[in-house]
Amino acid sequence: MGEESFAAERRRMVEELRRFGIRDERVLAAMGNVPRHLFVPEHIRHLAYEDTPLPIGHGQTISQPYIVALMTQALGLKGEEKVLELGTGSGYQAAILCELSREVFSIERVPDLAKTARRRLTELGYRRNVHIRVGDGTLGWPEEAPFDRIIVTGGLPGIPEPLWEQLAEGGALVAPVGGRYDQYLWLYSKERGRPRRQALCPCTFVPILGAHGFPTEGNRKGGLSRPFDSQDLREGDG
């Protein structure tokens, strides 16, 4: 497939997102700009604009376009924000965030994925406002805190305390929370230090592993950190 047909496929994807209810024109424009086919392995490029998650190696996936759009829209980016992402993966979500905010900090646990994502983002010209680090994202990026927005692109058993602490007052955090194999997508906002949350939709993400994520082989007691209990939460309108 040539660049022309990828561009046509991308336009079709954007129309589909619109039909699915994505309304933020800036988000739709960003999804129309970023060449998603360059973020997936070559042999499945022809599937890049289908509304489906795709494998990116190391047992990980690039999220389906609708979920990327929904999470990004939920963040309500205006262009001046400092954003933290957990789970760089292919770097696609990071590229979308780069289009819509001032500066993006993204953490990836698998060194090889981080390396590939960094190279891609540099080649595509996003180098100016994106920073990728290898590590356990559940600990956040304390040297760069606070963040106006935080996006978690893997499932979590609860919101890690360090992330909540690193979220700016008035900031928002979007994350899939639940079990290892299925979660619910929530939008949290910090109002006078207290959490408020709004339900988005059920979802299925690969798990975030780590100190405040799901346990790995070497860390059997992961997933225990919760900065607030559900009774502390005030439900939002949605």
* C-beta separation of 120 from 38 below 8 A: yes
CA dihedral for 30, 33, 34, 35, sign (positive or negative): positive
What track of x and - describes contact with ligand SAH for positions 148 through 167 (by CB under 6 A)? Answer: -----xx-------------
Is the CB of 43 or the CB of 234 nearer to ligand SAH? 43
CB of 2 to ligand SAH, least distance (A): 24
CB of 191 to ligand SAH, least distance (A): 27
Contacts of 7 (CB under 8 A, 6+ apart): none
What track of x and - describes contact with ligand SAH for positions 168 through 207 (by CB under 6 A)? Answer: --------------------------------------x-
Distance CA 152, CA 163 (A): 10
Choose one: 6-14, 25-33, 85-93, 123-131; the region binding ligand SAH (CB under 6 A): 85-93
CA dihedral for 48, 104, 125, 11, sign (positive or negative): positive
Is the CB of 120 or the CB of 233 nearer to ligand SAH? 120
Distance CA 120, CA 24 (A): 26
Alpha helices in the chain (DSSP H): 3-19, 25-33, 65-75, 92-100, 111-123, 161-166
What backbone phi and psi angles, to 5 degrees, belong to 25?
Answer: -65, -30
Is the CB of 28 or the CB of 54 nearer to ligand SAH? 54
Number of residues forming the site for ligand SAH (CB under 6 A): 25
Distance CA 206, CA 86 (A): 12
Residue 21: exposed, middle, or buried by beta-carbon count in 10 A (0-12, 13-18, 19+)? exposed
Instruction: Decide if 189 is catalytic.
Output: no
Is the CB of 87 or the CB of 195 nearer to ligand SAH? 87
Q: What residues between 96 and 115 interact with ligand SAH by CB under 6 A? A: 107-110, 113
208 sits near ligand SAH (criterion: CB under 6 A): yes
Residues at the interface with ligand SAH (CB under 6 A): 60-63, 86-87, 89-90, 92-93, 107-110, 113, 136-138, 153-154, 206, 208-210, 213
Residues labelled as active-site residues: 63
